[in-house]
Amino acid sequence: MTRVFSGVKPTGHLTLGNYLGAMRRWAAVDQHQADALFCIVDLHALTVDHDPARVRRLSRQAATLLLASGLDPEVCTVFVQSHVDEHPRLSYVLECVATDGEMRRMIQYKEKTAREGARGGSVRLSLLTYPVLMAADILAYGADEVPVGDDQAQHVELTRDLAVRFNQRYGHTFVVPRATHPKVAARVMNLQEPTAKMGKSEDVGSGIVYLLDEPDVVRKKVMRAVTDSGREVAYDREGRPGVTNLLEILAACEGGNPEDLSGVYESYGALKKDTAEAVVEVLRPVQERHKELCADPAYVEGVLRNGAERAREMARPRVDAAYRAIGLLPPV
Ligand code: TYM
């Protein structure tokens, strides 16, 4: 059976981008078709300036939202990265296979360091090694597929390179994984800045739809979305990024093709109105289930406890094998 691994980082409230680009597909498709693990990658949340209490809160919230979005702990494994020591254990060994230059070429590293530099801040060493820890997340489980949004493609590519390099040098140990992306909404853009990704840690909050936004807040954000000069509703990523983003969101929510939808609308107003309602409807069941789950924190805790136990059992043999292959003496 195909093994799937994916994760979400608790650095901010989860967004419509996370949902359409990743979470929705995990629940609808991946967990049923594969032996799947979904992880709240809290160690990754420590790579940027953080507030410990907030990371804890967001980790719990992310777990609750993953379950609310339809992940079924009877079918898949949901767990928290820091509960399974195999991740940092393997990450160190992979750091001995990766190069400094490779890390510095990562787009997300360059973007984040540029932003920190502009703020006069310093960059944590863990931000540089972030992609290695991500590779460890994936390789520890022998995942074949990694369902993610477009923005993670380069990280998965690096994971492949590290797996191949390790296997060539030290003997076959890792499965070489591949990224899978949704056909529509693989990169949902910020509604106020449609040339930038809708990211949970970004500053332009009015352009971000959060999964827990009230319906009226969602409507307001979508109705105020920046559109483009010109009146025609056309699908054109370069020339009409604002309208194209709305078409993508609408198509992802309703099922359909964004290019076909462009022919249906004569005005931006009508497109925005339908998009807002479609988003409200997509989020409604998730929000309802989230409310129920918040009333039962012991259930969520139990899921995470069992998930971590299962994940440890799955990861340990491969990580032990990597330790032996690279030359570390087994404990006596
Ligand atoms: P993160 O937490 O930024 O995002 C979680 C998932 O949501 C997708 N996503 C989007 N998709 C479409 N449009 C958007 N605007 C958008 N924003 C986010 C992401 O592509 C991702 O699939 N480095 C990862 C977390 C991670 C991971 C892993 C993922 C750590 N280890 C191992 C897969 C496998 C991240 O920061 O995701």
Write the ipTM. 0.99
Sheet strand arrangement including 145-147: 77-80, 35-40, 3-8, 145-147, 178-180
Task: Tell me, yes or no, whether 7 lies in a domain.
Answer: yes
Shared domain for 237 and 278, answered yes or no, is: yes
**Smallest Cα–Cα separation from 2: which of 156, 178, 184, 160?**
178
Measured over the CA atoms of residue 157, residue 50, residue 42 and residue 248, the dihedral's sign is negative
Shared domain for 74 and 122, answered yes or no, is: yes
Q: Which helix (H) or strand (E) holds 78?
A: strand 77-80
Q: Domain tally for the chain?
A: 2
Ligand 1 shell residues, CB under 6 Å: 5-9, 17-18, 21-22, 41, 44, 134, 137-138, 146, 148-149, 151-152, 155, 186-188, 197-199
Shared domain for 316 and 281, answered yes or no, is: no
Nearest protein CA to atom 21 of ligand 1, as residue:
148
Shared domain for 315 and 269, answered yes or no, is: no
CATH number of the domain residue 211 falls in = 1.10.240.10
Q: Which pLDDT tens digit goes with each residue over 82-136? A: 999 999 999 999 999 999 999 999 999 999 898 877 777 789 999 999 999 999 9
Length of the chain: 332
Task: Tell me, yes or no, whether 243 lies in a domain.
Answer: yes
Nearest protein CA to atom 4 of ligand 1, as residue:
8
**Smallest Cα–Cα separation from 142: which of 315, 295, 12?**
315
- As separate numbers, helices (DSSP H) first and strands (DSSP E) second, the chain gives 14, 5
CATH number of the domain residue 315 falls in = 3.40.50.620
Give 285-288 contacts, CB < 8 A, sequence gap 24+: 286/19, 286/65, 286/68, 286/69, 286/211, 287/68, 287/211, 287/212
Round to whole Å and give the CA distance between 135 and 87.
Answer: 9
Shared domain for 151 and 220, answered yes or no, is: no
Is 188 annotated to bind ligand? yes
Query: 22 C-alpha to center of ligand 1: Å?
Result: 7
Task: Tell me, yes or no, whether 95 lies in a domain.
Answer: yes
Shared domain for 171 and 287, answered yes or no, is: no
Shared domain for 164 and 276, answered yes or no, is: no
Task: Tell me, yes or no, whether 36 lies in a domain.
Answer: yes
SS3 140: coil
* This model's pTM is above 0.80: yes
Round to whole Å and give the CA distance between 127 and 196.
Answer: 21
Shared domain for 83 and 227, answered yes or no, is: no
Round to whole Å and give the CA distance between 162 and 46.
Answer: 23
Shared domain for 176 and 61, answered yes or no, is: yes
Shared domain for 174 and 211, answered yes or no, is: no
Round to whole Å and give the CA distance between 275 and 246.
Answer: 7
Ligand 1 mutation pick, 4, 8, 195, max ligand atoms within 8 A of CB: 8
Give the model's pLDDT for residue 96. 98
Shared domain for 262 and 280, answered yes or no, is: yes
Task: Tell me, yes or no, whether 40 lies in a domain.
Answer: yes
Residue 318, pLDDT above cutoff 90: yes
Is 9 annotated to bind ligand? yes
Q: Which domain range does residue 274 map to? A: 205-291
Mean pLDDT (whole number) for 168-192: 97
Shared domain for 175 and 273, answered yes or no, is: no
pLDDT bracket for residue 203 (50, 70, 90): low
Q: Is the distance from CB of 136 to CB of 96 less than 8 angstroms?
A: no
